[in-house]
Amino acid sequence: MTAFKLGLLLLVMNFVHSELITNETAAREFANEVNAGSEVVMYNFVAASWNYNTNITTENQQAMVDESLKLALFDQAVEANASRYDWKNFSDTDLNRLFSKLVDIGTAAMTDKVKLERLNNIMSEMEAIYSTGKVCLTENNCLPLDPDLSRLMATSTDYDELLTVWKGWRDATGAKIKDLYKEFVSLSNEAIVQNGYPDTGAYWKSWYDTPTFEEDLKTLFETLKPLYVNLHAYTRKKLKERYGADKFPTSGHIPAHILGNMWAQTWGNLFDLLEPYPGKDDIDVTPQMVQQNYTAEKMFQVSDEFFKSLGLIEMPSEFWDHSMLKKPTDGRDVVCHASAWDFYNKKDFRVKQCTDITMEDLITVHHEMGHIEYYLQYKDQHVVYRDGANPGFHEAVGDVISLSVQTPTHLQKIGLLPEVTNDEEAEINFLMKMALQKIAFLPFGYLIDQWRWSVFSGETTPDNYNQKWWDLRCGLQGISPPEDRTEDDFDPGAKFHIPGNTPYIRYFVSFVIQFQFHKSLCQAAGQNVPLHQCDIYQSTAAGQKLSEMLKLGSSKPWPEAMMMIAGEDKMNAAALMEYFQPLTTWLIEQNDVYKLVFAESNP
Ligand code: X8Z
Ligand code: ZN
């Protein structure tokens, strides 16, 4: 049946019935028809979206918006007709769960077509401004984020040059997005209210289906904070040696532009400066990758090989034929921020990434491949279940794999690390590298949606957008703006996920639960070593355990999926703490005193 016919049928059915339908066999049939119709409408939307993301033009934008409107109409019809069933009282709990998802249609609930179209246009415009943003260092030298500005932020040690780029990026993106974002917030909320939620943030939180979600997050954050604060204090001390203490505020904050990353979200690019025992093994394998003429394709093949070694599903030929693994050189504007795509036809799965030949991007490659592996594993589920157990699960899959990939012994196995030393100093070096990736990120991952939830709920209004942003950045990350910011600036808009409207708490969740997954998969693999040394490569037992969980998609509440893979049904920071224990001890010794408050710690 075509999507159009199904839509029509659904609408007609809407007028025929008046009482709630209790027949569960009929309900199952209805759900199956919706599945077939959804696959078509979703495919059309994803394909149009892909076209826009890989070639930003006004025609492609219009085509994408058109498809998103068709999808919204389809969703509205499904919702209206699913609501004709007495699904809340179904005896079949799966059918009940399925229907609860059919009626939960997000911003597609907006009935005013003009507003819905405007909402979709705003979203694509914000994405275009972000993705085509450039910073001009001189009149004739204007650089995009990827790869140029990212590389500059990663490698420059010139305080003023970093400041020019940092500020330039925020002028080129955030400041231009603020008015659109204001309008977006109001339209998105208007749509979501029609779907029965108080605001967009509440809707996003509902995906975790945990009444204590925010408290749970806070508990996790508080548990992990001392480790972050120790890393922060050590990093600040080293950065002071590099840039001079006069560049640092007396409050104990670190200027936001000198942490090796445009948003100070991960600090791995400072490893040279922060390496505890310099002169040990070269655990940053970027030079090796360059020397061995690594290409983007090669990086994806390396990742595919790891998944295969676990007995998981390899990438289908469509993946290799249609993915965009490199930034195009034909002058097209594209959305460079890496993403993984499910076309909902059970065949077409793609990655879009402007891959740079670096270790950092090799990790992102595994991250994206994790998303695709999840898509492949749950492809036979109903469309509404083709999703992560919760959004954090989806983000964790590839990261779990890269926890193994990054161990020095594994890097040696795949020829990227000529020498591996097994002593305590090498171990601390390695854990420092991992901490700059995993621990440095925690407050950033935690705060983005603290900001957004407060914006969506109306607690933070447009005249306080930037102030609230910096309150969170200073208070939780312990970083400060390198120069005065005002409400003409809109610094949240300079981070992809704000204009791209991708919720962010999923990454904080992922950074915690990926260590729970890792620990349990390591046990399945029979790896009797400290957690940070474990490499599950070639363990089909670990692969089997992972695969069983992935296959569920979102068909079961996430605590069940968690129980299956981790043997416990809650998020828990213990595995993460265990992984970093030797470094925690080392940092405490280095820092001498345990400094818990940024404002009071200024060695
Ligand atoms: O956006 C991503 C992925 C795509 S889901 C590349 N990540 C976050 C970011 O870049 O800010 C991965 C970790 C955090
Ligand atoms: Zn991701």
76-119 pLDDT per residue, tens: 999 999 999 999 999 999 999 999 999 999 999 999 999 999 99
Q: pLDDT value at position 8? A: 52
Tell me which ligand sits closest to the C-alpha of residue 448: 1
User: What's the gap in Å between 353 CA and the centre of ligand 2?
Assistant: 12
User: Any catalytic annotation for residue 497?
Assistant: yes
User: Any catalytic annotation for residue 394?
Assistant: no
Per-residue pLDDT, averaged over 357-386, amounts to 98
245: left (phi over 0), alpha (psi -120 to 50) or beta: alpha
pLDDT digits (tens, 9 = 90+) for 15-69: 555 799 999 999 999 999 999 999 999 999 999 999 999 999 999 999 999 999 9
| Reported confidence tier of residue 201, pLDDT bands at 50, 70, 90 | very high
CA distance 4 to 95: 25
pLDDT digits (tens, 9 = 90+) for 481-524: 999 999 999 999 999 999 999 999 999 999 999 999 999 999 99
Percentage of the chain lying above the pLDDT 70 cut: 95
Mutate-to-test residue for ligand 1 from 266, 335, 360, 367, highest number of ligand atoms within 8 A of CB: 367
- One of 117, 318, 322, 497 is an active-site residue; which one? 497
Q: pLDDT value at position 592? A: 74
Mean pLDDT across the chain: 95
Task: State the CB neighbour count (10 A cutoff) for residue 239.
Answer: 21
Nearest CA to ligand 1 atom 13: 507
pLDDT digits (tens, 9 = 90+) for 305-321: 999 999 999 999 999 99
| Reported confidence tier of residue 12, pLDDT bands at 50, 70, 90 | low
CB-based contact 487:464 (threshold 8 Å): yes
Q: pLDDT value at position 291? A: 98
CA distance 506 to 394: 8
Amino acid in the structure at residue 338 = A
| Reported confidence tier of residue 186, pLDDT bands at 50, 70, 90 | very high
Amino acid in the structure at residue 137 = L
CA distance 107 to 119: 9
Cis peptide before 147 (omega within 30 of 0): yes
| Reported confidence tier of residue 282, pLDDT bands at 50, 70, 90 | confident
Per-residue pLDDT, averaged over 192-196, amounts to 96
| Reported confidence tier of residue 281, pLDDT bands at 50, 70, 90 | confident
Q: Which residue has the tokens 């901490």?
A: 435
- Sort 107 into a burial class: Cβ within 10 Å, 0-12 / 13-18 / 19+: buried
Amino acid in the structure at residue 367 = H
- One of 368, 382, 394, 532 is an active-site residue; which one? 368
Please say if the pLDDT value at position 594 is more than 50.
no
Please say if the pLDDT value at position 341 is more than 60.
yes
CB-based contact 89:22 (threshold 8 Å): yes
CA distance 186 to 319: 38
Per-residue pLDDT, averaged over 137-145, amounts to 97
Q: pLDDT value at position 13? A: 56
Please say if the pLDDT value at position 4 is more than 90.
no
Please say if the pLDDT value at position 322 is more than 90.
yes
Atom nearest to 441 CA in ligand 1: 14
Task: State the CB neighbour count (10 A cutoff) for residue 187.
Answer: 21
User: What's the gap in Å between 580 CA and the centre of ligand 2?
Assistant: 23
Residue 353: closest CA among 365, 371, 367:
365
Percentage of the chain lying above the pLDDT 90 cut: 94
CA distance 242 to 62: 49
What is the end-to-end Cα distance of the chain in Å, rounded?
Answer: 69
Q: Output the known binding site for Zn(2+).
A: 367, 371, 395
CB-based contact 563:569 (threshold 8 Å): yes
Atom nearest to 337 CA in ligand 1: 6
Q: Considering only CA atoms, give the Rg of the chain.
A: 24
pLDDT digits (tens, 9 = 90+) for 422-475: 999 999 999 999 999 999 999 999 999 999 999 999 999 999 999 999 999 999
Q: pLDDT value at position 494? A: 99
User: What's the gap in Å between 497 CA and the centre of ligand 1?
Assistant: 8
Is beta strand 254-255 parallel, antiparallel or unpaired with respect to 479-480?
A: parallel
CATH of 198-258+288-421+437-574+583-603, one of 3.40.50.880, 1.10.1370.30, 1.10.10.10, 1.10.10.410: 1.10.1370.30
Strand spans (E) along 347-422 = 349-352
Per-residue pLDDT, averaged over 388-401, amounts to 99
Q: pLDDT value at position 363? A: 98
Residue 155: closest CA among 259, 51, 33, 292:
259
Q: Where are the domains of the chain?
A: 3-126+185-197, 198-258+288-421+437-574+583-603
